[in-house]
Amino acid sequence: MNNKVLSLYDWFLIAGVIVSNVVYSLLTGTMDVLGSMAAITGVLCVVLVAKGSIWNYLFGLVNVSLYAYISYKASLYGDAALNALYYLPMQFIGWWQWRRRGAAMSAAEAGDSGVQVKARRFTWKQRAILFLGCAVAVVAVGFLLKHVGDPQPFKDSTTTVLSIVAQALMALAFMEQWALWIITNIVSVIMWSICVARGEAHAGVMVIMWTFYLLNSLNGFRVWIGLSNSSDSKDR
């Protein structure tokens, strides 16, 4: 599959998040620079992840830094800690891992092998263990966040736990990351919509960002099924 150029759907996502941020600014009469930068760099990052491009980590570095600050200001401590203490260093680890799994930085460097990372997938037994472990961790972290005063403890724990696991699977190039991203994105849209109702700063732009993340994750799941099918089964 040739992914040297972005597809029409990818351009729709990129243009859509930019236009949505402009429209939101006009409707609210405010210009949320930090929120807009987080949303745009975030969508650029996830679009490139779906394409199997290593350059996603460059935009991811900017996105997670901004999102950590925004989450902290909204009292979403799980998301803030996740981005500052985990996502940020994982951008460097992920870059290194993807280079090891064949992701090239340019078409010239890749030659005929393609620029994409070599994806892989779990067995059904491994998937069952993965989702059971995630469910237990979500409940445990939810009670912890409730204890420290998080206003949305179990939604926050869902996004925190699943994002931690999904980011690790992403760095290791496993297709199952996308199932976790889809769940995370749905819960995040709900969580930030509640923040909009509470009048939290940046919340409206975050709803826009997570909505486009969700649209991209559905496409990413489709693309990575193909990427993992074409990879050597011995890498599983």
Q: How far apart are the first and last CA of the chain?
A: 20
- What is the number of helices (H) and of strands (E) in the chain? 10, 0
What pLDDT, on a 0 to 100 scale, did the predictor assign at position 1?
37
Of 105, 10, 100, the residue nearest 51 (C-alpha): 10
Query: CB–CB of 21/205 below 8 Å?
Result: yes
Give the residue-averaged pLDDT of 199-204. Answer: 81
233 versus 13: which is more confidently predicted?
Answer: 13
Of 42, 49, 5, the residue nearest 223 (C-alpha): 49
Percent of the chain with pLDDT over 70: 89
79 versus 43: which is more confidently predicted?
Answer: 43
Tell me if residue 120 falls in helix, strand or coil.
Answer: strand
Give the residue-averaged pLDDT of 1-21. Answer: 80
Q: What is the mean pLDDT of the chain?
A: 86
DSSP for 23-89, written as a single string? HHHHHHT---HHHHHHHHHHHHHHHHHHTT-TTHHHHHHHHHHHHHHHHHHTT-HHHHHHIIIIIHH
What digits encode the pLDDT tens for the residues 56-72?
999 999 999 998 998 88
What pLDDT, on a 0 to 100 scale, did the predictor assign at position 223?
87
What pLDDT, on a 0 to 100 scale, did the predictor assign at position 109?
56
What pLDDT, on a 0 to 100 scale, did the predictor assign at position 104?
62
- 150-159, 197-206, 212-221, 226-235: least confident range: 226-235
Domain ranges of the chain: 8-235
Q: Quick check: 182 pLDDT over 70?
A: yes
Q: Quick check: 112 pLDDT over 50?
A: no
pLDDT band for position 150 (cuts 50, 70, 90): confident
What pLDDT, on a 0 to 100 scale, did the predictor assign at position 113?
45
pTM of the predicted model over 0.85: no
CA distances from 222 to 172, 210, 218 (A): 18, 19, 7
